Amino acid sequence: KLSPTAPRYNELHPTLHYDFTMNRRKQAIAASKMVDIPEHDDLRRVQEVWDAHAQADPLWAVLSEPDRLGRRWDLDAFMATGLEHVSAALRRCEELGGSFPDRDLALDFGSGVGRLSQALGDHFNAVLGLDISPTMISVASRLNRHGSRVSFRLNESNRLEGVGTDSITLVF
């Protein structure tokens, strides 16, 4: 059983910095190749932890509101938080003068059950959700309401295998 004092989802992931210019995106990709990448055993441990969370309470593992622990998230309310989050982020991008070269492909890295992937599916032609947990991918696939436009894939590697970085419009 998960503790109510377990770290919140946003505390487990570093803050992502959104940069919408092509030049900065290429710099970010180059910089990402210079960071230390966890060894295979470390990734396996991370996968075991996230898969255990997913099996115990997948929605709470993604959005850890204390009063929702114990499978008490209403699915529609949970998914609505994704719609709000994505809409606010895209709106803020526009307010700052950002734009996308196209709306071809969004990548939801650490997609969990697809809360943000589903919301991104309303704004992009295709969305790929990647997660390290097989259980999260299974749940996300079952909850998918966009058909083949939104897909989910297990990523057990320390690299984004099979994802052409030049084809991605947005990483969320």
* pTM of the predicted structure, to 2 decimals: 0.75
Helix (H) or strand (E) holding 29: helix 22-32
Question: Which amino acid would we find at residue 85?
Answer: H
What is the reported pLDDT for 163?
81
Question: Which ranges of 33-109 does DSSP label H, i.e. alpha helix?
Answer: 40-56, 58-62, 75-95
**d(C-alpha 42, C-alpha 80), whole Å:** 33
What is the reported pLDDT for 36?
53
Are the beta carbons of 134 and 112 closer than 8 angstroms? no
Are the beta carbons of 107 and 168 closer than 8 angstroms? yes
pLDDT in tens, 39-71: 667 889 999 999 999 999 999 999 999 999 999
What is the length of the chain?
Answer: 172
Does the CA dihedral 119-99-160-127 come out positive or negative? positive
What is the reported pLDDT for 27?
47
More confident position, 155 or 1: 155
What is the reported pLDDT for 154?
96
Give the DSSP letter of residue 67: G
Bridge pairing between strands 150-154 and 105-109: unpaired
Helix (H) or strand (E) holding 105: strand 105-109
Query: What are the strands of the beta sheet with 170-171, ordered from one edge?
Result: 150-154, 126-131, 105-109, 170-171
Are the beta carbons of 64 and 6 closer than 8 angstroms? yes
pLDDT in tens, 102-151: 999 999 999 999 999 999 999 999 999 999 999 999 999 999 999 999 99
Provide the CA 166 distance to its chain's centre, in angstroms.
19
